[in-house]
């Protein structure tokens, strides 16, 4: 493996910002983007009402439908359960997911949140890649508590020298994550490394808020992009973000072959 292509996307349960079903366009868009790993938030695991109401509602849970034949492995963490179904976070992977656990990081009873932790056997890496997919609280106090939970989880369950990616919808427009999370764990946010701040990703029609993040440890950041405009602005209320990461020398058994070029769009 020369580089690892990562994407993170809050998919709004497969609906556009105006609540039109877009899950089929979503799958086509992700297949065209073709990342190695996809971190998804607001994934609909089940909704009996939508299945009745929408003729083309997928029979499979959304993470299985989206994975299709492109991502051989996938994991889903159920966070919010209601009468007609449930939704949560998911990770799609081209490489084997050797372990997955979902952890409740709810700080308010009315706002269920979770952290999906996967270990992935990526060719060329000496250790499993640890991936955390998160969707954090809308409230600042709740997020601060969740940053502590994330830090504790990493300290307890992940070796200090293991490669790590934390990605998702942080709802962190004030950018507290760098001080309360990234600095503690030696993480680098992929846009902040190049542009000095995270990228605008919400709302997708005219991105103003810097809510979605990809943090990495054990990698050099080759490039990052926000996918603006169509079709993405028609698919969800968030814009997807992606990055290409090159393992640092300490983390890889690469044979020294050249790294493919990557031409990112500049974050705005």
* Mean pLDDT in residue range 72-79: 97
Domain that holds residue 43: 4-247
Residue 158: pLDDT above 90? yes
Residue 266: pLDDT above 70? no
φ, ψ dihedrals at 77, nearest 5°: -120, 110
Q: How many domains does the chain have?
A: 1
Residue 73: pLDDT above 90? yes
Residue 259: pLDDT above 80? no
Q: Is 6 helix (H, G, I), strand (E, B) or coil?
A: strand
Contact (Cβ atoms closer than 8 angstroms) between residue 101 and residue 117: yes
pLDDT band at 214 (very low <50, low <70, confident <90, very high): very high
DSSP state, residue 163: -
Q: Give dist(CA 133, CA 115) in Å, integer.
A: 6
* Mean pLDDT in residue range 212-219: 97
**Is 170 domain-assigned?**
yes
**Is 263 domain-assigned?**
no
**Is 239 domain-assigned?**
yes
Question: For residue 123, what is the domain's CATH number?
Answer: 3.60.10.10
Tens of pLDDT, residue by residue over 24-67, are 999 999 999 999 999 999 999 999 999 999 999 999 999 999 99
What is the strand order of the sheet 114-120 is part of? 97-104, 114-120, 129-135, 164-169, 212-217, 188-189
Average pLDDT over the chain, rounded to whole? 91
**Is 262 domain-assigned?**
no
Contact (Cβ atoms closer than 8 angstroms) between residue 239 and residue 228: yes
- Whole-prediction pTM: 0.92
* DSSP of 78-140: EEEEETTEEEEEEEEESS-EEEEEEEE--SBTTB--EEEEEEE--TTBSSPEEEEEEE--SSH
pLDDT band at 251 (very low <50, low <70, confident <90, very high): low
pLDDT band at 267 (very low <50, low <70, confident <90, very high): very low
**Is 260 domain-assigned?**
no
């Amino acid at each position: 493996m020369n580089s690892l292509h990562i994407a993170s996307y809050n998919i709004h349960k497969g609906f556009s910002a105006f609540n039109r079903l877009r899950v089929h366009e979503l799958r086509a868009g992700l297949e065209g983007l073709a990342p190695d790993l996809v971190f998804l938030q607001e994934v609909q695991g089940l909704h009996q009402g939508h299945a009745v109401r929408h003729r083309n509602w997928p029979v499979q849970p959304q993470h299985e439908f989206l994975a299709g034949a492109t991502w051989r492995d996938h994991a889903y963490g159920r966070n919010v359960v209601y009468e007609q179904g449930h939704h949560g976070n998911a990770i799609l992977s081209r490489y084997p997911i050797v372990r997955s656990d979902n952890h409740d990081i709810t700080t308010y009873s009315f706002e269920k949140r979770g952290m999906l932790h996967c270990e992935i056997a990526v060719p060329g890496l000496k250790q499993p890649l640890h991936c955390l997919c998160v969707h954090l609280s809308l409230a600042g106090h709740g997020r601060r508590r969740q940053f502590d939970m994330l830090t504790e989880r990493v300290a307890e369950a992940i070796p200090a020298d293991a490669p790590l990616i934390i990605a998702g919808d942080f709802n962190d427009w004030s950018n507290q994550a760098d001080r309360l999370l990234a600095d503690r764990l030696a993480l680098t946010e992929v846009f902040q490394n190049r542009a000095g701040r995270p990228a605008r990703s919400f709302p997708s029609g005219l991105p103003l808020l810097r809510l979605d993040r990809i943090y990495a440890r054990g990698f050099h950041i080759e490039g990052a992009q926000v996918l603006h405009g169509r079709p993405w602005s028609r698919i969800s209320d968030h814009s997807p973000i992606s990055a290409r990461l090159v393992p640092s020398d300490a983390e890889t058994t690469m044979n020294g072959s050249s790294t493919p070029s990557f031409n990112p769009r500049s974050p705005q």
